[in-house]
């Protein structure tokens, strides 16, 4: 079983739709969680950190469920510019950070 698993996608949705991504992690000792987005042929960019209480940034909402060991990302009112690959990232911190990336979910927004 992979340490971090994501919906493989691709998701192809119309502009304005709401889309949700899920990500599960296997190590219950994981401490911090992030969503990154990666555009084609570019580096990953931090989208948002994910906190236990959940957090929202504009059209983006991230949630963490420690009991079930999953995190989610919700995008409301999707725009064409949201088309990208979304990476779930988990930091397992013990003596040093061990950062695990999910394989990413590709999202394509159509007009």
Query: What residues line the site for other proteins (CB under 8 A)?
Result: 31-32, 34, 41-46, 49, 87, 89, 91, 93, 96-97, 99, 101, 103-104
| Distance of alpha carbon 19 from alpha carbon 12, whole angstroms | 10
Residue number with CB closer to other proteins (26 or 91): 91
| Distance of alpha carbon 63 from alpha carbon 1, whole angstroms | 23
Residue number with CB closer to other proteins (17 or 91): 91
Smallest distance, other proteins to C-beta of residue 81, A: 18
Q: Report CA-CA distances (Å) from 105 to 36, 94, 102.
A: 11, 28, 9
């Amino acid at each position: 079983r992979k340490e971090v698993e994501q919906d493989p996608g691709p998701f192809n949705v119309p502009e304005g739709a709401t889309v949700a991504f899920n990500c599960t992690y296997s190590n219950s000792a994981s401490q911090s969680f992030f969503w990154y987005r990666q555009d084609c042929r570019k580096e990953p960019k931090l989208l948002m950190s994910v906190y236990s209480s959940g957090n929202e940034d504009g059209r983006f909402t991230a949630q963490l469920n420690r009991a079930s060991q999953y995190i989610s990302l919700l995008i409301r009112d999707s725009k064409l510019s949201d088309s990208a690959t979304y990476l779930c990232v988990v930091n397992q911190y013990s003596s040093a950070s061990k950062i695990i990336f999910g394989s990413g979910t590709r999202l394509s927004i159509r007009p």
